[in-house]
Copies of this chain bind each other. A is one copy, B any other.
């Protein structure tokens, strides 16, 4: 695809070569995210960070990514405005808001809303999550993390062995990740969930049609013994009819250091889209894993900044200029490097 001026709405837009391109640009952003240097390539540009549904970390991650490229951020953090309740169409909202910014990141509770918005926008729009539909930058950062973690072990996404664990029915991130994996080769996917929270059959089909080996199970320990990545997820309580119903499943698949040591191959990487539920009755990933160097969940969150910087640089066509506008960083930043 041609990224310049494009809307980033769905992972379905991407072919393998596009994903590769995003990841290569993300790699090039690392010195900036680590504050080894800084760049002002987007100085003067404005991100409209339009969150019509709260999400602190996604919002701040997009905003920080834009700041790291030198740009400014104007934002909204919920349905504060009553314009939409006053009967304004998404078309009008998009036409107006796109007059204020150079690129828009939008989150909205309604499935399909961001695509509708993008159609009327006069600037590129990046989907920051539209209800149960898509959250493409999350899927990209997950896959980018897998690539990065495996690469340091001399492996690649082709040939990946991954277990996805937890609420696979409601988890938007695992759905998107499966779809992204379909453009790679020879992946082994183990889907671990209670039967009632199984991965939708259509997605299992997609994986199999892509030639991948899929195992469906509700047993954790046997599933994690021959994998590269254990991708744990949270019970999406807010999608259940009641807290009681969610509680039936909470804490069903707990991974801790003892289980990890007993069942996993050495250096199996642990991922999670966050937030992880650390309450005693859930504890999907025990805190005793925090010192395990293969716990990649925070590197995963950090990678979100890289991927989002890459998306901004690509749609605004400044990839080649990032380094030209770079400078030394003078302030203290060595805690980060630890």
Contact = CB atoms under 8 A, between A and B. Distances in A.
A337 to B, nearest CB: 8
Contact of A74 (B64, B95, B237): B64
Contact of A48 (B4, B60, B98, B278): B60
Interface string A284-318: 00010010000001100110010000000001111
Of A92, A234, A305, most buried by chain B (CB within 10 Å of CB) is A92
Size class of the A contact interface (CB-based, 8 Å): 35 or more
A221 interface: no
Interface stretch (A77-85, A147-155, A161-169, A212-220): A77-85
A10 interface: no
Given A334-B5, A335-B122, A336-B123, A86 B54 contact: no
A282 interface: yes
B60 A92 contact: no
Contact of A122 (B55, B279, B338): B338
Given A76-B56, A100-B61, A336-B122, A41 B81 contact: no
Nearest to A89: B278
B276 A88 contact: yes
Interface in A318-338: 318, 321, 327, 329-336, 338
Nearest to A298: B95
A259 interface: no
Where chain A touches its partner, the secondary structure class is: loop
A329 to B, nearest CB: 7
B4 A329 contact: no
A189 interface: no
Contact of A44 (B40, B276, B277): B40
A41 B302 CA distance: 25
A68 interface: yes
B99 A302 contact: yes
Contact of A301 (B96, B238, B298): B96
A84 B275 CA distance: 8
B301 A41 contact: no
A218 to B, nearest CB: 22
Contacts of A89: 278, 287
A259 to B, nearest CB: 20
A60 B52 CA distance: 14
A317 B330 CA distance: 8
B64 A101 contact: yes
Contacts of A43: 38, 40
Given A40-B44, A277-B88, A330-B318, A54 B72 contact: no
A239 interface: no
Interface of A: 4-5, 35, 38-46, 48, 54-57, 60-61, 63-64, 67-68, 70, 72-74, 76-78, 80-84, 86-89, 91-93, 95-102, 121-124, 234, 237-238, 274-279, 282, 287, 290, 297-298, 301-302, 305, 315-318, 321, 327, 329-336, 338
Closest 6 CB pairs of A and B: A38-B44, A56-B81, A87-B277, A88-B275, A54-B80, A64-B100
